[in-house]
Chain A
Amino acid sequence: MSTTAQTPQAPAPQKLRTRKPLTVGAVAKNAAAIVLAVIFVFPVYWMFSSSLKPQSEILSKDPVFFFTPTFENYGTATGVDLFWTYVTNSLIVTVGAVLLALVVALAASFAIARMKFKGRKGIVLIVMMAQMAPWEVMVIAMYMIARDNDMLNSIPLLTAIYFVMVLPFTIWTLRGFIAAVPVELEEAAQIDGCTRGQAFRKVIFPLLAPGLMSTSLFGFITAWNEFAMVLVLNKDKTNQTLTLWLTQFQTAFGDDWGATMAASTLFALPVLIVFLFLQRKAVGGMTAGAVKG
């Protein structure tokens, strides 16, 4: 970072298409990359750093960049009434939705990828369209349905909706993974005396592990982040999830930004970790699997 930052003659605007002297181009390129990296990372960095600031340093006209970190904001954030209820609700809803989706999608995608039957193409199309479903625009209808069936403030209904939200994507990706497992492997297992079910369990399923992992991680992220549905359906505090806790936090806490940023960090951390580490491994398998197939 330091090597290029020192060079003063790096003009930011002409970054991309300089084809003049090599050195100026290289410097401009790297300078642009650093500026961009800072811009993209800054909000995330600012969230972390604000969450660790003592109250007095938050309430300062000129932002403080160096300070002694404190965890008091995290205490405030997690000390909110019902915090653990929100955590539990979020976990139930996400884990429930993802597990359901995995089971249902595994069956469907196996049929789509491995079997020939009438209407197969139609089902593929349905899955594709369902993946683009405009859930955000359907909240009013969903509210009316939930209300008419006395299912407002229901965790099971929310779980079921999230399950259907992540289902098409799960089917779509698993279909790719299953198709990538050579059918010969399955046939060999069957020749060796496995039944179709055994062949699936002992041969295909283990090979699908990375696929199942990355797919469920994406399902987790979607359900964890969902906002519109829970906003409309669950007005009762005891049945809300962390997304609502977070959006209402700032108003409820009279602009306690330190605590709000601690809350944001707590909410974002699982997703950031999942996305940056686990996902990378899983997708290594994803591309490898897809290409080799």
Chain B
Amino acid sequence: MTVDSQGTATAGSQDAPGRAAGKSQTPPPPSGAKEALQPSRGRRSLPGGLLPYLLVTPALLSMAVLLLYPLISNLILSFQSVNRRELIRRETPWIGFDNYTELLGNSEFWTVVLRSVAFTAANVALIMAIGTGIGLLLNRLGKKMRLVLSLALAFAWAMPIVASVTVFQWLFDEQFGVANWLMRTLGFSGYEQHNWFETGFSTFVIITALVVWGSVPFVALNMYAGLTTVGTELYEAARMDGANGWRTFWSVVFPNLKPFFMITTFLEIIWVFKAFTQVYAMNQGGPDRATETLPVFAYIEGMSQQHYGVAAAISILTIVMLLVAMSFYFRLILKQEDEQ
């Protein structure tokens, strides 16, 4: 997750503070994803032969061994009955689709699926809405305020997930947390020693706060970088025609940045759906397994319950669901590359 979230849109993020400080010499690329997709302009047919294959082999080989092979063995494991006993005896009895039929007929599994989908939908909607809003705001601010806000966003973006989980646990601590103090100060009663991790819903609220807080900077700073490529004349024209802010957004900004919106939305869907660290490290899927999303469910089914075969089947089903989102994402990316 981190490589993607902190990597893909490098240009956008860094460009914003840079521009605000008036240091940037080059116009920012429209969006992070686009930037990474620079057409290889310099390529020309140089004599090939075996050399390119030799150069590519180490990369392909290592991905085959440590990525493809685990994926395949995950698939194989999902057709086997491997529990504690088999693990110790090192047996791997085949049971066909039993793990899958067991899961698909299990209401607990469907609860987790629905929960993951709802969690993803809520987070992505919030991330996109707030991120877009802040991006638009950044575009309207003066230089100094823009720098201040960009820096604050960069801090949130850069925070390692594990560290921010610990910080959020502290913010929402039962006894000495700032959250309870804030609620008391705002005049709410019942926050003397409120346990935020008491119910699954409340725990999800905190996880969502964490995920949204950590993901909005990516969208906002890229949104801003994208906005700078939409010429100001367009805004002016829209304003002259009497369009209000809302109209201007939907008729000028959105159509121009549609590829950015689509790509970012699908990226966020993929990232949030497979988020493990935020959910697991916050409360280990608790209280009472109420915050287990699919990746956490697979982990606990496997490592704690020692139903390795079932866990593998959960993983495969999760990957299949992710593939749906990914296929949209890849289609968008490839379309964009063709257009360039």
Contact = CB atoms under 8 A, between A and B. Distances in A.
A284 B168 CA distance: 33
B171 interface: yes
B167 A47 contact: yes
A117 B53 contact: yes
Contact of A116 (B43, B56, B158): B43
B66 interface: yes
B27 interface: yes
Interface string B65-101: 0110111011001000010000100100000000000
A260 B170 CA distance: 9
Interface in B233-278: 244-246, 249, 270, 274-277
Contact of B244 (A19, A29, A132): A19
Q: Is the interface of A mostly helix, strand, loop or mixed?
A: helix
A168 to B, nearest CB: 7
B230 interface: no
Given A30-B145, A43-B159, A43-B171, A134 B275 contact: no
A46 B167 CA distance: 8
A176 B71 contact: no
A8 B23 CA distance: 34
B213 A43 contact: yes
A283 B74 contact: no
Contacts of A62: 181
A134 B35 contact: no
A221 to B, nearest CB: 6
A180 interface: yes
Contact of B302 (A60, A143, A218): A143
A116 B51 CA distance: 11
B83 to A, nearest CB: 12
A35 to B, nearest CB: 10
Contacts of B127: none
A107 B58 contact: yes
B245 A279 contact: no
Nearest to A176: B38
Contacts of A222: 2-3, 6-7
Given A169-B3, A179-B41, A137 B176 contact: no
A110 interface: yes
A172 B59 CA distance: 12
B318 interface: yes
A16 to B, nearest CB: 6
Interface stretch (B14-22, B103-111, B118-126): B14-22
A268 interface: yes
B151 to A, nearest CB: 8
A256 to B, nearest CB: 11
Contact of A225 (B2, B140, B151): B2
B101 to A, nearest CB: 19
A141 interface: yes
A80 interface: no
A179 B37 CA distance: 11
Interface in A159-188: 160-161, 163-169, 171-173, 175-176, 178-183
A222 to B, nearest CB: 4
B312 A287 contact: no
Interface residues of A, number: 123
A194 interface: no
A136 B276 contact: yes
B18 A280 contact: yes
B170 A261 contact: yes
B3 A219 contact: yes
Contacts of A226: 2
Interface stretch (A66-74, A81-89, A241-249): A241-249
Nearest to A271: B160
Q: Nearest 5 CB-CB pairs, A to B?
A: A17-B245, A141-B74, A275-B158, A179-B40, A136-B276
21 contacts: A43-B168, A61-B181, A107-B59, A114-B43, A116-B48, A129-B326, A132-B4, A134-B318, A136-B295, A138-B74, A142-B70, A144-B308, A145-B70, A181-B42, A246-B162, A261-B167, A265-B163, A272-B155, A287-B11, A290-B35, A293-B42
Interface of A: 1, 15-19, 29-30, 32-34, 36-41, 43-44, 46-47, 50, 58-63, 104-105, 107-108, 110-117, 120, 123, 126-134, 136-145, 147-148, 160-161, 163-169, 171-173, 175-176, 178-183, 214, 218-219, 221-222, 224-228, 232, 243, 246-247, 249-250, 255, 257, 260-261, 263-265, 267-268, 271-272, 275-276, 279-280, 283-284, 286-288, 290-293
Given A136-B275, A167-B63, A183-B43, 17 more contacts: A16-B136, A30-B142, A34-B148, A41-B152, A47-B167, A47-B170, A116-B46, A133-B67, A145-B70, A161-B66, A173-B7, A176-B37, A268-B159, A283-B10, A287-B15, A287-B28, A288-B26
